[in-house]
Structure 1
Amino acid sequence: MKTLKVALLGAGNVGSQVARILLEDTEVLAARTGARLELVGIAVRNVDATREYAAPRELYTTDASTLVRGADIVIELMGGLEPARTLILESIEHGATVVTGNKALLAVDGPALYEKADQAGVQLSYEAAVAGAIPILRPITDSLAGDKITRVMGIVNGTTNFILDAMDSTGAEFSDALAEATRLGYAEADPTADIEGHDAAAKGAILASLAFHTRYALEDVHCEGITGVTATDIAAAKDAGYVIKLLAIAEKLDGGVSVRVHPTLLPREHPLGAVRGAFNAVFVEAESAGELMFYGRGAGGSPTASAVMGDVVSAARRLVLGGPGRTDSTIEVLPVLPIDAVSTRYYIHLDAADQPGVLSKISALFAENGVSIESMRQTVHREHGENEGPGSAELRIVTHRAGEAALAATVKAINGLDVINSVTSVLRVEGV
Structure 2
Amino acid sequence: MTSDQQPVQANEPERPNAVDASPNGHRTRRPRVAIIFGGRSSEHAVSCATAAGVMRAIDRDKYDIVPIGVSRDGQWVLAADDPARFELTAGRTPEVLPDDAHVVLPLSTRETSLQVLEAGQPPQELGDVDVVLPLLHGPFGEDGTLQGFLELSDIRYVGSGVFASAAGMDKHYMKVVFAGHGLPLGPYTVITDRAWRADRAAALEACAALDYPVFVKPARAGSSIGITKVDDPSDLEAAIEAAREHDPKVIVEAGISGRELECAVLEGHGTDAPRTSQVGEVAVHDNHEFYDYEAKYLAEADVDLTCPAAVPDHVSDEVRRLAAAAFDALGCEGLARVDCFYTDDGRILVNEINTMPGFTPHSMYPRMWAASGLTYTELIDELVSLALERRTGLR
Q: TM-score, normalized by length of structure 1?
A: 0.32
**Higher gyration radius (CA):** 1
Q: TM-score, normalized by length of structure 2?
A: 0.34
Q: Relative to total residues, which structure has the larger helix share, 1 or 2?
A: 1
